[in-house]
């Protein structure tokens, strides 16, 4: 990017395309502040340059700034909004919960007769699902002339997110009948559906099929769904074995799910052991200390409670304000 900047500075015939190319380069390297400086300096902006900047913000999870820029182009320019800009703005709406703006984008797309392509349609599925409007997600899905594995996966995840576990599984079966091969993302949504619905047997079957039938190596997201599902079902010993057999280091959320399952189902001895591991993984997470202290308190081991409190003080870990001891179990949750 330093070389690109030098070439740009020496080039005398800098048109909109040159400016946009350099901005795109900075966005792709997550140098958003420099990209915005160049964008603001541009003597003339095209629909592509606006789109590049909004896309850059969204791809780097700076959704508030993406929305701010989208509103500027919407209200203060007479420019036609292109598909790339609309898809990125819609993704920002999904994250921010900006329902009215998302609905405006939908109206704009319909009034301008945009086709519901795979990328745009999938963005709408995600938007309506995160707003809790699963029927509108399904309506968009049905309008799409073409669908692919990502579209089906998004619909499965949407149903899972909104608690329609059995419908998500049925969608997965319909996907298989459509001769589409599921991928890793498909199984994240499917296992999440099993988790939300407490469908232990189905979850175990799909987790096994993912590996043996579809040759997909489980990621930490897949393991996270299974750990949470089995922990809630009280199969804490089985969960511990699964965690220890993972081909990578489990994170705090994984151990936290098991810790919560131990509390719910009264496996206090395992809770003590897991609590110690959690403190090593997330030494700055106050909820993990509270979870372990609660395990000691249930066993009547007050010296253990005092020890945990001392560790918090020595490590400078602050307690979350506004919580009392009756809420203490919840802080052990992931």
- Distance (Å, whole) CA 334 – CA 288: 9
In a domain, 187, yes or no: no
Domain boundary among 89, 114, 139: 114
3-state class of 41 per DSSP? helix
- Secondary structure of the chain: what % helix, strand, coil (to 5)? 75, 0, 25
- Distance (Å, whole) CA 54 – CA 110: 21
pLDDT at 332: 41
210 phi and psi, to 5 degrees? -55, -40
Burial (CB count <10 Å: 0-12, 13-18, 19+), residue 34: middle
pLDDT at 213: 96
What is the total count of domains within the chain?
2
* Token representation of residue 201: 């047997």
Domain boundary among 79, 114, 149: 114
Domain boundary among 114, 137, 164: 114
* Residue pair 211/217 in contact by the 8 Å Cβ criterion: yes
pLDDT at 301: 77
In a domain, 11, yes or no: yes
- Distance (Å, whole) CA 190 – CA 202: 10
In a domain, 206, yes or no: no
* Residue pair 140/170 in contact by the 8 Å Cβ criterion: no
In a domain, 210, yes or no: no
The whole domain housing 246 covers 240-334
pLDDT at 4: 93
Place of tokens 């005398």: 12
In a domain, 181, yes or no: no
pLDDT at 318: 66
Per-residue DSSP letter, 311: H
In a domain, 134, yes or no: no
Q: Look up the CATH number of the domain holding residue 298.
A: 1.25.40.10
In a domain, 87, yes or no: yes
In a domain, 300, yes or no: yes
Per-residue pLDDT of the chain in tens (334 residues, 90 and over written 9): 999 999 999 988 889 999 999 999 999 999 999 999 999 999 999 999 999 999 999 999 999 999 999 999 988 888 889 889 999 999 999 999 899 999 999 999 989 988 888 899 999 999 999 999 999 999 999 989 889 999 999 999 999 999 999 999 999 999 999 999 999 999 999 999 999 999 999 999 999 999 999 999 999 999 999 999 999 999 999 999 999 999 999 888 898 889 888 878 888 788 878 878 877 777 777 777 777 777 777 777 788 788 888 888 877 776 554 434 344 343 343 3
pLDDT at 324: 42
* Residue pair 198/229 in contact by the 8 Å Cβ criterion: yes
Burial (CB count <10 Å: 0-12, 13-18, 19+), residue 62: middle
* Residue pair 87/119 in contact by the 8 Å Cβ criterion: yes
């Amino acid at each position: 990017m330093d070389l690109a900047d030098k070439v740009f500075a020496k080039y005398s015939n800098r048109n909109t395309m040159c400016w946009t190319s350099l901005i795109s380069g900075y966005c792709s390297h997550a140098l958003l502040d420099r990209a915005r400086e160049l964008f603001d300096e541009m003597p003339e902006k095209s629909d592509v340059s606006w789109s590049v900047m909004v896309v850059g913000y969204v791809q780097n999870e700076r959704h508030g700034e993406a929305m701010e820029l989208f509103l500027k182009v919407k209200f203060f320019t007479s420019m036609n909004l292109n598909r790339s800009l609309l898809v990125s703005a819609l993704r920002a709406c999904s994250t921010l919960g900006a329902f009215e703006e998302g609905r405006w984008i939908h109206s704009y797309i319909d009034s301008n007769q945009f086709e519901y392509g795979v990328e745009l349609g999938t963005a709408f599925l995600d938007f309506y699902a995160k707003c809790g409007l699963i029927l509108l997600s399904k309506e968009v899905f049905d309008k799409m002339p073409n669908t692919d594995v990502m579209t089906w996966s998004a619909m499965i995840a949407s149903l899972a997110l909104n608690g329609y576990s059995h419908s998500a599984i049925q969608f997965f079966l319909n996907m298989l009948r459509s001769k589409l091969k599921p991928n890793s993302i498909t199984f994240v949504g499917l296992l999440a559906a099993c988790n939300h619905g407490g469908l232990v047997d189905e979850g175990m079957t799909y987790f096994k099929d993912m590996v043996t039938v579809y040759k997909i190596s489980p990621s930490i997201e897949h393991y996270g769904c299974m750990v949470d599902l089995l922990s809630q079902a009280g199969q804490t010993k089985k969960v511990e074995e699964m965690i220890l057999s993972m081909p990578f280091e489990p994170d705090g959320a994984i151990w936290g799910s098991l810790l919560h399952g131990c509390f719910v189902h009264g496996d206090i001895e395992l809770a003590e052991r897991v609590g110690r591991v959690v403190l090593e993984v997330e030494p700055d997470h106050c909820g993990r200390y509270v979870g372990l202290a609660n395990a000691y308190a249930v066993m009547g081991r007050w010296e253990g409670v005092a020890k945990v409190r001392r560790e918090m003080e020595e490590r400078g870990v602050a307690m979350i304000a506004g919580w009392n001891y009756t809420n203490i179990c919840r802080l052990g949750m992931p």
